[in-house]
């Protein structure tokens, strides 16, 4: 059995979370050949994280959202 763990900020609707879940389950099933019924999906919601990444950029312990200038430094 595969497991997907997703951490996200509070504020997304149930419909958005269902769409995310369905999309990820479909992709995992297609990539592994495992039935989506055998994939366990967990969403943990919380306040903004202190570690985040976007694209190939990972910034650790950032207390503020990145600016365009921050992202261009990499």
Helix locations, the chain, DSSP H: 14-32, 68-72
Distance CA 19, CA 14 (A): 9
Query: Which residue carries 């976007």 as its tokens?
Result: 54
Across the range 3-8, mean pLDDT stands at 87
Inter-residue long-range contacts of 16-25, CB under 8 Å, 24+ positions, other chains counted: 17/43
Domain that holds residue 14: 2-72
**Torsions phi, psi for 72 (to 5 deg):** -80, -10
pTM comes to 0.60
- In tens, the pLDDT along 43-70 reads 988 876 556 666 666 665 545 555 555 5
CATH number at residue 36: 3.30.429.10
Number of domains forming the structure of the chain: 1
**Cα gap 71→73, rounded to integer Å:** 5
């Amino acid at each position: 059995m595969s497991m997907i763990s997703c951490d996200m900020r509070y504020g997304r609707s149930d419909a958005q979370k269902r769409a995310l879940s369905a999309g990820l389950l479909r992709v995992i099933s297609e990539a592994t050949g495992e039935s989506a019924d055998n994939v366990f999906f967990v969403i943990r919601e919380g306040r903004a994280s202190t570690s985040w990444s976007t694209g190939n950029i990972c910034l650790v312990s950032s207390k503020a959202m990145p600016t365009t200038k921050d992202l261009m430094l990499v």
